[in-house]
Chain A
């Protein structure tokens, strides 16, 4: 099993996040708390899905977002992003 290439793009968070939000958060852009890189959620590197989805900055590999689905709740951690700009056309 590969270990270096086992991440996906932030695009794949679209389904799991759609369980929580009515807007598509993967097109929202934000700044990485750790290195200042700007970009959309869709561009993050996503590890998981189990035990939880972990999205990291492609610039510095720090954790931007985590999403854990338990049987009766979703835990969402957006620790690594300064603010998200959500387009609302």
Chain B
């Protein structure tokens, strides 16, 4: 009778993205489809009945019964170590979704888009990039992606491939590739200076990162009403 049921999801494929992150593809019978930017709640239940749930963004646009998540390991976490290290093809979890109609990008929009990602905050923004590519969308996209070091980049090959109308800037906070112009450091106002001041902004990542990036955008004159945020939680200290 509940509007949105928990659905059984069977893991059908694993892709290791980095040393600490992997993409999990689930088969979810009866999946109703979704928009880029939406998320699901994942529920895990132990044999003794203990259960807990976390939110994960949908990493890819709608594809029948197939649902993809990309999970980054949080050391000492309860759920992400299970999803990134224990779960195997054939195992079951429960999913509720898709949910969240605010942090979404619709392919029919032609407005310029600025995506600002911190770490695993790239995941829902990648769903938008993929949805744009699939729909052969004309909206110009600009991704500013902050990660600790080059080896932490999610989907590097896919983002390196030319995708007309998509511009990608990397910010490294600890270590850069050799000869990289920008010294390592957290996101600053200067990193967002070349962004279209009129763009629809989607900012996603650890809470502190989202806070900083959204503040920079507002200081640069972006309209607060056009900045949408999705905070993933604390950075763990």
Contacts and interface: CB of A to CB of B under 8 A. Distances in A.
Interface residues of B, number: 29
B183 interface: no
A10 to B, nearest CB: 8
A38 B85 CA distance: 43
Contacts of B206: 5
Interface size, A (range): 20 to 34
B206 to A, nearest CB: 8
Interface in A13-38: 14-15, 18-22, 24, 26-27
Contact of A42 (B3, B4, B102, B234): B102
Given A15-B41, A42-B103, A9 B230 contact: yes
B3 A5 contact: no
B99 A5 contact: no
Interface of A: 1-2, 5-12, 14-15, 18-22, 24, 26-27, 40, 42-43
Nearest to B233: A8
B207 interface: yes
Contact of A2 (B3, B41, B230, B235): B235
A6 B233 contact: yes
A15 B99 contact: yes
B208 A5 contact: yes
Interface string B1-13: 0111000000000
B229 interface: yes
Contacts of A1: 234, 237
B211 A14 contact: no
Nearest to A45: B231
A43 B103 CA distance: 10
